[in-house]
Amino acid sequence: MPLVAQPVDHRAAPDHSGERVPFYRVAMQAMRTKIHRDLPATTLWSYGGSVPGPLFDTRSGQGVLVEWANELPARHFLPIDHSLHGAERDKPEVRAVVHLHGGKTPPEGDGYPEDWYVPGQSRTYYYPNRQEPALLWYHDHAMGINRLNIYAGLLGLYVIRDAVEDELHLPSGKYEIPLVLMDRDLQPDGQMSYPVSPDPERPWVPEAFGDAHLINGKLFPYLDVEARKYRFRILNGANGRFYRLSLSPDLDIHQIGTDQGLLPAPVTMTHVQLAPGERADVVIDFAKLGGKNVLLMSEAFTLMQFRVASTAALEPGILPATLRPVPRIAESQAVMTRRLTLDEQLNMVSESMGMLLNKTPWHMPITEKPKLDSVEIWELVNLTDDVHPIHLHMVRFQILDRRRFDGFEYMTKGDLRFLGPAMAPESNELGWKDTARVNAKTVTRIIVPFVGYPGRYVWHCHILEHEDNEMMRPYEVMHA
Ligand code: C2O
Ligand code: CU
Ligand code: CU
């Protein structure tokens, strides 16, 4: 179980309210830890001495201050690609900056990729928490090396709660379990390795996978559970792996929430798909499996085991029939529709040279400038053959629909010829999202209220290898 972060002080919020808010200090440090009983200790980089880092347990409307101190070593232990934008040889090797994923954070504290700082420095960010309850997560965002910093272990969870959610009496306390999923490539000596291309000058690879699946930083862990309902708050924190979760023996998974909070009502699933960056809030009832072991699987991989007590539980736990309304935003509210492509550049032998958003590299001038408090539709046209989980900072959005198109016709004539009707989002996607799967040769339409703060943010693919190699763009929320 991740440790819960504890404030070290209370300080004035930087918003002129005069309010004193909890102040936390979290140091990024190298560490060694055993991720499995039978393996030697593994070198990792952590927030606050554990991977995942300490869990922030916060309340909606009550802001917090966090000092993020970079106390990492001067040298990186994973292979930097100096040909990537932002990771050139004249940049310090070790750089870090923290982003709270899913947070409605003022721009100065959002962890803009170029706002990195070096060992010995720190930054204090204010998270106002003026948003609905959800499972957020914090992670590194340093330009050009973000995939390596997160792979090294720089990630953690951040929960926001409120009184409306408390009233639902969902399983809580020891019955509410956070699960951070991520895959790593482990050597027999217990050390992590990160894949490289055959070209030593350009070691970047388009995807990094490993066959060691870490659950809260451990390999093949187990959890003793009572024969009752549990709430699991699951994050796919992997660089590029998509998880498709199920239980063995078969047991329903009642999904109650998405990235940005509760669904209108539970959705019963046998499999839950999670792209990198996505979260699922689920309830699982072990009542019928007293005395048995239940495996959490992803396709053929075993992730972890639940050992269900053979005695009856004192309380069964509650799964409410309705949760929290999520009013659908009418398309007529949108003041503008942007068509934005997801592109892959191939070299002459069809190897990936990297991806782009709207055929525009990072350093080009900002093209997306929504007005504060306006609603826009973004049509994400995926011209590639891969699924890309697209994430926007600061805002939450709803998925309108997905529609397949003829990729060849688009490439040759530039027309979007659809191959069928628009498909509604899946029933477990009918909540507020901040990361959405954009399938291959498909237009995914999202509707986004740009509510929050004016300023410069980013949007990007959450496959971290793509993000680090130009599949990220700035956007700017303009004063209305
Ligand atoms: Cu998980 Cu740019 O964020
Ligand atoms: Cu984010
Ligand atoms: Cu991608």
pLDDT digits (tens, 9 = 90+) for 406-424: 999 998 998 999 999 999 9
Degrees to nearest 5, angle at CA 301 with 298 and 303:
75
Residue 16: pLDDT band (50, 70, 90) is confident
For residue 341, give the amino acid letter. Answer: T
**176 burial level (CB within 10 Å; 0-12, 13-18, 19+):** middle
Judged against a pLDDT cut of 80, whether residue 353 lies above it is answered with no
Rounded-to-integer distance, Cα 248 and Cα 295, Å: 5
Q: Which residues contact 43 (CB under 8 A, 6 or more apart)?
A: 30, 31, 32, 77, 191, 192
Residue 469: pLDDT band (50, 70, 90) is very high
How far from each other are the two terminal CA atoms of the chain, in whole angstroms?
44
- State residue 271's pLDDT score: 97
Neighbouring CB atoms inside 10 A of 336's CB total 11
For residue 335 the two structure tokens come to: 């003041």
Q: Which residues contact 223 (CB under 8 A, 6 or more apart)?
A: 177, 304, 305, 306, 307
User: What separation in angstroms does the CA of 32 have from each of 51, 54, 147, 192?
Assistant: 10, 16, 20, 11
Atom 1 of ligand 1, nearest CA residue: 101
Q: Which atom of ligand 1 is nearest to the CA of 113?
A: 2
pTM of the predicted protein model: 0.97
For residue 62, give the amino acid letter. Answer: Q
How far does residue 457's CA lie from ligand 2's centre (Å)?
9
- State residue 351's pLDDT score: 76
The phi and psi torsions of 431 (rounded to 5 degrees) equal: -110, -170
- State residue 31's pLDDT score: 98
Is residue 127 within 8 Å of 159, Cβ to Cβ? no
Q: Which atom of ligand 1 is nearest to the CA of 101?
A: 1
Residues in the chain: 480
Q: Whose structure tokens read 């699982």?
A: 284
Judged against a pLDDT cut of 80, whether residue 352 lies above it is answered with no
Using a 6 Å cutoff on CB, does residue 391 contact ligand 1?
Answer: yes
Judged against a pLDDT cut of 80, whether residue 23 lies above it is answered with yes
According to DSSP, the residues that pair with 344 across neighbouring strands are: 355
pLDDT > 70 in the chain, percent: 100
Judged against a pLDDT cut of 80, whether residue 348 lies above it is answered with no
Using a 6 Å cutoff on CB, does residue 473 contact ligand 1?
Answer: no
Judged against a pLDDT cut of 90, whether residue 17 lies above it is answered with no
- State residue 170's pLDDT score: 98
**249 burial level (CB within 10 Å; 0-12, 13-18, 19+):** exposed
- State residue 411's pLDDT score: 86
Judged against a pLDDT cut of 90, whether residue 45 lies above it is answered with yes
Using a 6 Å cutoff on CB, does residue 101 contact ligand 1?
Answer: yes
